[in-house]
Structure 1
Amino acid sequence: MKILYLCTGNSCRSQMAEGWTRHLRPDIESWSAGVVRHGMNQDAVRVMQEAGVDISAQTSKTVDDLPEVEFDYVVTLCGHAAENCPYFPSKARRVHRGFDDPPSLAASLATEEERLAVYRRVRDEIRAMVEGLPGSLED
């Protein structure tokens, strides 16, 4: 199975999903990309490291940066990506599994611990989705 996780900037949620899939489900090939490239979110890298998953070598990219791959699933993780998902001329099934945007939610929080708590919650929610693959992608 080959999965592409797509988010707006490929900086946080899609990177977490790719990292979890590589860590928990090595039998599934995974990639992540964004509609645009925002760079890696260091808080996402940090909370994934806390969970034992190193995504620090992953890079922020767009779908144009990906190799030619016949994806089985293109999973959008945010509303903007779902609305602006590029066309994939393949058998790929498009599925939307939305998660809160940690950078947006954390921006107004007063302390680092409050901010990281948002990232940890979303990290754990994404992990649960990945643990349930492929069933978690069924309607």
Structure 2
Amino acid sequence: MNILFLCTGNSCRSVLSEATFNHLAPADMRAISAGSQPAGQLHPRAVALLHRKGISTEGYFSKSWNDLPLTPDVVITVCGSAAGETCPAYLGPVLRAHWGVDDPGHVVGSDEEIEAAFELTYQIIRARIEAFLALPPMTDKAAFKRELDRIGTLGA
């Protein structure tokens, strides 16, 4: 199963999702991330956080959804609602879910406050991925979609 984590810039939340998913998932599942308007680089705080968690960032980069090396089975958007953020809409024939989380890269404050925002984002993403990976195998697409939608509310 191929999962695409999608947002606008592909520098923070979608990359946190991709790397965390690939770190936790079994070999028959793979995640990739992309953006509709890629930032061109990974957010340094996201990379540092992943390294602190023991998650490799080797091979990860900010990329466009036009350059995907695979066709996803599931597309999960991770855009938040802060600052009027608009999530890209993937139009391919896939199962879609929205796991919105606000972008910690836009948090303004002290280093401690910014780091706390990145940690909270990571914890929400990780909890959702763990819930996804704990799902029993499902052949009913409607039931699977309901579960993905439910998972998208965890930690919100």
Could you state the TM-score of these two structures normalised by the residue count of structure 1? 0.86
**Once the two structures are aligned, what percentage of the paired residues are identical?**
36
Matches within 5 A, 1:56-75: 56-69=58-71, 71-75=72-76
Q: Which has the higher contact order (CA 8 A, sep 6+)?
A: 1
Are the structure 2 counterparts of residues 67 and 21 from structure 1 closer, same or farther at C-alpha, using a change threshold of 3 Å? same
Q: Within the alignment, does 1:87 sit opposite 2:91 as a pair?
A: yes
Residue 28 of structure 2 is aligned to residue 17 of structure 1: no
The match for 1:54 is: 56
Which range is displaced more, 73-82 or 115-124?
Answer: 73-82
- Once superposed, which parts of structure 1, at least 4 consecutive aligned residues long, lie more than 3 Å away? 79-82
State yes or no: 1:129 paired with 2:155. no
User: What amino acid is aligned across from residue 109 of structure 2 in structure 1?
Assistant: L
The Cα offsets for residues 45-101 of structure 1, whole Å up to 9 and x where unpaired, read as 0011111112253010011111241x221000014453x31311x3x1111010111
Cα distance in 2 between the residues matched to 1:101 and 1:87: 23
How many residues were matched structurally? Answer: 132
Determine the structure 2 residue equivalent to 1:34.
35
Aligned to 1:102: 104
- Alpha carbons of structure 1 residues 73 and 56: separation in structure 2 relative to 1, 3 Å: same
Secondary structure (helix, strand or coil) at the match of 2:132 reads coil
Give, in whole Å, the separation in 2 of the partners of 1:103 and 1:67: 27
Match of residue 4 from structure 2? 4
Unmatched segments (≥5 aa) in structure 2: 136-146, 151-156
Query: How far apart are the structure 2 equivalents of 1:35 and 1:66?
Result: 12
**Counterpart residue identity of residue 118, structure 1:** A
- The structure-2 alpha-carbon separation of the partners of 1:9 and 1:133, relative to structure 1 and needing over 3 Å to count, comes to same
